[in-house]
Structure 1
């Protein structure tokens, strides 16, 4: 595994109030639960964490609270994705000053299908702007969300421009062949996958770990996969499949809302049901479907 970033880093769900304000105490407590359950660290303000919907002040403030609670800087990957490159630089500089050198960046997503040259230059400007020799940047490849991603040529160019600073790719393509190709093409980089069922096969082919949403619900389950990717128990694989099936139990449900509904059911804390606009909570029928499906898994959930 790549020494810069490896292991299990939940894409942290973030609790909000009914009006969408960040609930810092719940967020810190959830992060600490993830670490206590055996995760290597946490990932803040990614897609699962509704990150782009929060302001710079909210994001920097929560990071400071996380570190103030005793979470170490090396236990955090902070996502610095922002519409304006200057905002991404501000977020990156702030994290670096606090010792959080592990950072993740999605390419700008407000222009449709930019050329590789523009994608490379935008990331390069952010890296130069942050000005941190110790930066360990993951390129966040999520073409479904951003409408485009990082080609192999763009990755290679960025690694050449910023050796030791651009250290890997977080692959949220949901395409196992794509993840395996990344691991094969870039053996010196950290390749972390988002699709839970692809974690084991990618690890077996040289991948470094995973940043995923299901780890919020089942950190011990995903830890077992990480620890023995070549020998995942059939029961664990089935449980992952069954939990992921809840994401599409009814059509059109936002995956963040489903994960929050599962966490609310697991913890008995309905505050997890709130979402930050423009996302909205599940409706009553959707919520009941997720709850019923989660409860139906019964004793299999005892060790998640």
Structure 2
């Protein structure tokens, strides 16, 4: 597909999550079935190899196989897709960028090399090198809170000026001052924020989300995004109830030290829209199975808008 411009990266994007079995082998049939559901869910695009996709656990053959499946099916369906080419070590990441770019996705997502923090010159130098390696494919910088190098709006403005292929970022969001600083520094970039904060983020200038709410319910997340454009007050009320659900069922798992991939697989299994399961690849810990039933009951009670197949609108 053609490279995506910043104004074409909007809305709710769903991610591929790795169904694993046995000693951590990927269940390729279940992954294909999951992709089939995402393709007809109404999300604005699909991506692979974010944090929730456990990109750091994949060998290079697995990485390429996921990419081939994603590219082939999204191209056939005419749905935009992005490939995460991230890896903590820069040489491996650039090789992933090169191989993934050959598939001509709408964009490539990259992190910054992640063993030691980078200074501003190093951030620019790395992203310029990734851009050159991508050969014309757009770049999106994935800069979550746990990244060793945090990129503030001022540095992001410098990167955007020196690396024109950078079209978007995924960040944690912030307060009103952060959104104002981003609007001043990078008005032409697509800014994606966490899915559970999208209604308030959209109102303050965000453009979309690589969404953990799409992990819970891709159809529901897409419907919620449409509600943000037609009834912002109602959408904000959904966000408030998502916060209540997270406080009841996600925060306790975080307090146990579970990772974001574990939480997203937990959400997907609560949602039940595909056979994904809670199990992560070794050596990561997975969410406890006994937490699923009470979370599912509360999700249906608190958030019927996210489950249109169970609670259709009157």
2:226 equivalent to 1:227: yes
Partner of 1:123: 127
> Is the Cα–Cα contact under 8 Å of residues 160 and 186 in structure 2 kept in the other structure?
no
Q: Which runs of 5+ in 1 are unaligned?
A: none
Equivalent-residue separation in structure 2 for 1:28 and 1:71 (angstroms):
14
What is the correspondence of 1:73-92 to structure 2 with a 5 Å cutoff? 75-92=80-97
**3-state DSSP class of the match of 2:109?**
strand
Q: Kindly state the Cα deviation for residue 269 of structure 1 after the two structures are TM-superposed.
A: 7.2
State the TM-score, normalizing by the size of structure 1.
0.85
SS in 2 for 1:128: helix
From 134, 140, 148, give the equivalent of 2:142: 140
CA distance in 2 between partners of 1:84 and 1:114 (Å)? 13
Alignment of structure 1 residues 245-284 onto 2, 5 Å: 245=247, 246-250=249-253, 251-252=255-256, 253-267=258-272, 272-282=277-287
* Paired positions, count: 294
SS of residue paired to 1:277: coil
Change (3 A) 1:232 1:92: farther
The Cα RMSD (Å) is 2.6
Q: Distance in 2 between matches of 1:224 and 1:266?
A: 15
Q: Which residue of 2 aligns with 1:108?
A: 113
Q: TM-score, normalised by structure 2?
A: 0.83
Q: Structure 2: how far apart are the matches of 1:269 and 1:188?
A: 36
Q: CA deviation at 1:232?
A: 3.2
Give distance in 1, aligned partners of 2:200 and 2:263.
26
SS in 2 for 1:175: coil
Shift of 1:190: 0.6
CA shift for structure 1 position 62: 0.8
Matched residue of 2:14: which SS? coil
Residue of structure 2 equivalent to 1:204: 203
* Gapped regions of structure 2 (runs ≥ 5): 310-314
1:270, distance to aligned residue in structure 2 (A): 6.9
Q: For the residues of structure 1 that align with 2:36 and 2:62, how far apart are their CA atoms?
A: 19
Structure 1's 237 and 186: CA in aligned 2 closer, same or farther, altered over 3 A?
A: same
Contact 1:81 1:104 survives alignment (8 Å): yes
CA contact (8 A) 2:30 2:276 kept: no
C-alpha deviation, 1:71, in angstroms:
4.6
| Aligned-partner Cα distance in 2 for 1:215–1:42 | 10
1:28 aligns with 2:27: no
Distance 1:25 1:270, change over 3 A: closer
In the alignment, the residues of structure 2 paired with residue 39 and residue 180 of structure 1 have an alpha-carbon distance, to the nearest angstrom, of: 28
For residues 68 and 195 of structure 1, what CA distance do their matches in structure 2 show?
26
Residue 291 of structure 2 is matched in structure 1 by 289
CA 1:151–1:21: 2 relative to 1, 3 Å: same
Matched, 1:194 2:198: no
What's the offset of the Cα at 1:106? 1.0
- Aligned-pair CA distance for 1:235: 5.4
Q: Distance in 2 between matches of 1:193 and 1:96?
A: 24
- Find the residue that maps to 1:145 and give its secondary structure: coil
